[in-house]
Chains A and B, each alone.
Chain A
Amino acid sequence: MGLKVGFEIHQQLDTGRKLFCRCPSMIVKNKEGRKIVRRFRAVAGELGERDIAAVYEQLRGKDIVYHVFDECDCLIDIDEEPPLMPDEEALKEAVRIALALHMDIVDEFQIMRKTIIDGSVPSGFQRTILIGLNGYVEVDGKRIGIGTLCLEEDSGRKLFETENEIHFALDRLGIPLVEIRTDPDIRTPEEAARVAEYLGLFLRSFKVRRGIGTIRQDVNVSIKGGARVEIKGFQELEQLKKLVEYEVIRQLNLIRIRNILASRISSWEFAPVDITDIIDKTGCRFLKGKKCLCIKLPGYSGLLNKEVQPGRRLVEDFVDIAKNSGFKGLIHSDELPKYGIDSKAVDEIKKRLGCGEHDAFVLIGGEDPRKICRVLWLISEKAKAIYEVGVEKEVRRANPDGTTSYLRPMPGSARMYPETDLLPIPSHPYILAVRDSIPTPLPEKIRKISKDLSIREDYIKKIALMGILDDFIEISKEYRDRAAEICNLLLGFKSLLKKELGEEIELDFDVALRAIRLYLMGRIAKDALPYAYKDLLEGHSEEDVVKKYSLDEETLREEIKRLLDLPFGKIMFELRKKYGQRVDGRVVKRIYDELKEAK
């Protein structure tokens, strides 16, 4: 089948400030910013490509509203001031990651502008720098090529869209991120999931931002006879396998459909026809008074409702195009008669379009015939591409059920041109600055720790994903023989808090580690851990916590001696009643046993 899968990973860097200005990198929550309204325009005749037209169609007539926050946005963010030279820390970190990926660093970094006209970047382009080429990672013994690593500025954060406006928050705009592109070396959906997980973990070894939205991945899928399709917006690694499988199904189906089309037709034309008068005579209510235009889809009769992915029909890509351009949808001949459009009207439309036996049609109703025409053209181009090549290079969006929706054709390389406001940057000083501080990539580190401490690898991985691997290593060095216990405590800390305190409480691992240390030093009882955590979190001093949650062994021994005749459970009950969490069941048991024996 020739399945080839590759990834594009976008990971924000945690270097403190934005890439081309001096604003801090931060996400602003629950706050109204200044609002700035702008309009966008598809620029330059040279870029009059279908992908641009498709994106532009979404924007046409819409205002872009930017939410600007004074604490992290400046004139550069709203395209009112030329950019500054890129942040050196971000450049260093990008070079560091590229070197860890065994890449060739280019001799001189060239800052480029990548045209982005969905409104998410106020300037209309995203600045990006190719840092390294030709690297690799080894995943389960197999070498996966890393084609390129780029350092770029993040785009604005889409908030919501209304009929006339698209809103973006500009806090995220300009935060540095690395874009890592693997070669299409992955051969199975399972392998895709493993590589994605590996790379996610790999990046944790570097100064990267954590949390929702700080890492975004696109997956590229192609099969023999198909084409590279980029799928955006999948969140869960779990979903990845299914996405790849479904994309394979889609491409296979499109190849089949293409063969049917090829046997039915030999040419393509785009000729929209006004059928408002025909529709007016029908009982179709939602098209009443609307302008209705229609195009023939040669050869498509009976194919539009064909499933291309489980639960997804061929026509839905055309519907996506209409929806992306602001229409509610479209009507096609394979679903008619319906909506009050009877077979007489269908025949009349077919006659006017000159439809043959195998030809289908789609119709769209709206206010502005020019706009309908432009959308019909986009649909016609898409249908033509299926006829001509079957699978087209394109960008799709992942749906929760594993299917994908159509976004736009794959952008061409013509969308990139040099940033003329800034100078190229020699790479040598950056390589010198970081080459001695390349961290061991996390996956390798985990393997080593697991072996050294004899703790299962997936446990260590979990600790690493919590972002506290280094703390764990440090504390385990001090209490070597108790590493497994520490590991269990950390992994179970969240549920321990919930169980003992019975409430949702914020989990701050720095505080948790302080509490655990107090326990390891024997200064508080193990059972007191959740309570000690809570007090520390609330800002109480360690001394206070120790005072509150410890009982010296002498006192305890005296108490137990006094109660020794009672059954153990009763002793424990009495002690708890008197001293609360300061008594540790295990210590009581030990002393109890000792005293019993002595007796």
Chain B
Amino acid sequence: MLEELSVGDKIRVLLKDGRIFEGYYIPRPELLERDVLILKLDNGYNIGIKLDKIEKIELIERYKKEEVERKKEQHISKDKEKVGMIVVGGTIASKVDYRTGGVHPLFDISEILEVIPEIEDICVLDIEVRRPLKVSEDFTPDDWIDIAKRVYNKAKSSSGVLILHGTDTMHYTSAALSFFLRLNVPVLLIGSQRSSDRGSSDAYTNIIAGCWAATKWDGAEVCICMHATTEDKYNYILRGTRVRKMHTSRRDAFQPIGIPPLAKVYYNGRIEVVWDNYRRRGEVDEEIDTKIDKKVFLLKFFPGMPTEIFDWILEMDYHGLVIEGTGLGHISGWMADSVRKLVKEGIPVIVTSQTLYGRTHPYVYTNLRKLSLYAGALHAEDMLPETAYVKLMWVLGHTKDIEEVYRMMLTNYAGEITERSWVGGFIS
């Protein structure tokens, strides 16, 4: 009897015990048992009624969607700068269906503008929606390439490009774009940690901050622009290769690792440069280089990790390996032979650290030396594991020569390695 109903239909439910309920049919969320009917009552509450108690369901009225008239275009004002916006997915690009509670992708540009009228005072948005919209855990390296191409095109006619992106793997995308693109405008990845259905959502402030950064910041790097603290005070502009999602849920989850934020963006447009050490607009010949080799494996070492994992990596025909070692860049001493075998086969092995903060070192302890001197792995300074993973793909897209790979891995292309270890660059 439920098959014929669709969401929002007004129905009358007659129970076997004689009780009668009226309300609107709401479909059951995915993955739950189908033994309950959900009914939205007139007072707005949903209740669940067990199907086996129901005698009969009568349809009172089919749901008619009210057409809401939206203004289709942003008011074009000549004196405002144009900002490119590429919507790729994530919480920020979704909205809640208030009837069902279901989350749907945000389709209409005007929906964003309707809720954030302030944008009209900042810039003119040139919006492109990349379909299908994806949650960030579904991203693959192919998505990075596709997004990079779109950004490159948009950048030609914009003062800056915003990417509306899911947050979980945002720092992988930001690292990839950092290596792929050399532009004269900033590229800012923006997400939200709270869905836009709530009055406290960070989506609005993040977009506003992004618009300001895209038009007013003098930098031209690929950065993440998200809340700096749990308060709604300002956002950080964070270098795309030295940033990580450090919290499952807080709105200030993205924090710079080992370097300061480049700048703070206040929601009234004020930009405060924190670290004056970034590429400025107009400094480069614009370039896109998305050649990558996707056969790279990122391995987190753990006590008791089977040594056979290295043989498996070889068997699976991976072309490069990034190890997230312990401390200064360790793995168990007895694994050195297996790593050596990989390197001998021409597979570069890059070592980073699980501590995230701080530099690796190839020589301090015997086991480090075994890994570097004997096995031939490369300790990649203080590069973040995720950044090293992305970078190795990009490097392997350009050369398979292991020496050249190692040389490139240690070359600073996008601020991914810090020259000097900043005393303030640790959790305060």
Contact = CB atoms under 8 A, between A and B. Distances in A.
Interface residues of B, number: 50
B38 interface: yes
A413 B98 contact: no
Contact of B197 (A44, A104, A413): A44
B179 interface: no
B49 interface: yes
Contacts, number: 138
Contact of A40 (B99, B115, B200, B250): B200
Given A38-B231, A40-B199, A110 B96 contact: no
A110 B249 CA distance: 24
Which one of A46, A414, A423 has the greatest number of beta carbons of chain B within 10 Å?
A46
Given A78-B230, A80-B230, A42 B199 contact: yes
A98 to B, nearest CB: 13
Interface in B162-195: 193-194
Given A114-B44, A130-B47, A420-B96, A124 B19 contact: no
Interface string A268-294: 000000000000000000000000000
B200 A110 contact: no
Given A37-B233, A413-B42, A122 B200 contact: yes
A38 B36 contact: no
B332 interface: no
A79 B194 contact: yes
Interface in A46-103: 46-47, 75, 78-82
Given A38-B232, A80-B230, A80-B249, A46 B98 contact: yes
B45 A37 contact: no
B205 to A, nearest CB: 7
B142 interface: no
Contact of B198 (A108, A125, A148): A125
Contact of A80 (B41, B198, B251): B251
Contacts of B201: 41, 43, 124
Which of A78, A150, A415, A419 has the most chain B CB atoms inside 10 A of its CB?
A78
B19 A104 contact: yes
A413 B43 contact: yes
Contact of A112 (B46, B102, B205): B46
A13 to B, nearest CB: 19
Nearest to A82: B249
B99 to A, nearest CB: 7
Contact of A123 (B48, B193, B198, B231): B198
A166 to B, nearest CB: 13
Nearest to A107: B50
Interface in B359-384: none
Contact of B249 (A75, A122, A426): A75
A402 B53 CA distance: 48
Contacts of B114: 45
A120 to B, nearest CB: 11
B25 interface: no
B286 to A, nearest CB: 36
A559 to B, nearest CB: 74
A591 interface: no
B150 interface: no
A413 B98 CA distance: 11
Report which residue of A36, A43, A106 has the largest number of chain B beta carbons within 10 angstroms of its beta carbon: A43
Interface in B73-115: 95-103, 111, 114-115
A416 B205 CA distance: 24
Interface string B289-304: 0000000000000000
Nearest to A108: B48
A490 interface: no
B1 interface: no
B326 interface: no
A420 B103 contact: yes
B255 interface: no
Contacts of A302: none
B68 interface: yes
A113 B201 CA distance: 14
A295 B371 CA distance: 81
A110 B230 contact: no
A374 to B, nearest CB: 12
Contact of B36 (A82, A108, A115, A148): A108
A95 to B, nearest CB: 14
Nearest to A130: B45
A81 B46 contact: no
B204 interface: yes
Contacts of A75: 249-250
B202 to A, nearest CB: 10
B154 to A, nearest CB: 27
Interface in A417-432: 417-420, 423-424, 426
Given A38-B231, A41-B115, A416 B48 contact: no
Interface in B28-45: 29, 32, 36, 38, 41-45
B14 to A, nearest CB: 15
A68 to B, nearest CB: 9
A106 B199 contact: no
A39 interface: yes
A109 B95 CA distance: 24
Nearest to A106: B47
A117 interface: yes
A75 B194 CA distance: 13
B358 to A, nearest CB: 27
A43 B251 CA distance: 18
A128 B201 CA distance: 20
B196 interface: yes
Contacts of B29: 418, 420, 423-424
A100 B11 CA distance: 30
Interface in B189-224: 193-194, 196-201, 204-205
B101 A44 contact: no
Contacts of A114: 44
Nearest to A427: B48
A383 B103 CA distance: 38
Contact of B45 (A38, A108, A150): A150
Nearest to B253: A80
Given A46-B68, A418-B101, A424-B32, A110 B48 contact: yes
B199 A124 contact: yes
A166 B367 CA distance: 59
B246 to A, nearest CB: 13
A45 B198 contact: no
21 contacts: A38-B232, A39-B267, A43-B115, A43-B199, A44-B115, A45-B68, A47-B98, A79-B194, A79-B198, A81-B250, A106-B48, A113-B197, A113-B198, A148-B45, A413-B42, A415-B44, A416-B43, A417-B96, A417-B197, A419-B101, A420-B101
Interface of A: 36-47, 75, 78-82, 104, 106-110, 112-115, 117, 122-125, 128, 130, 133, 148, 150, 413-420, 423-424, 426
Give the 10 A-B CB pairs with smallest separation, nearest first. Answer: A108-B48, A418-B101, A124-B199, A416-B44, A413-B44, A124-B198, A110-B46, A130-B45, A106-B47, A39-B232
Given A80-B249, A133-B47, 7 more contacts: A38-B232, A40-B200, A106-B49, A108-B48, A110-B46, A415-B44, A420-B29
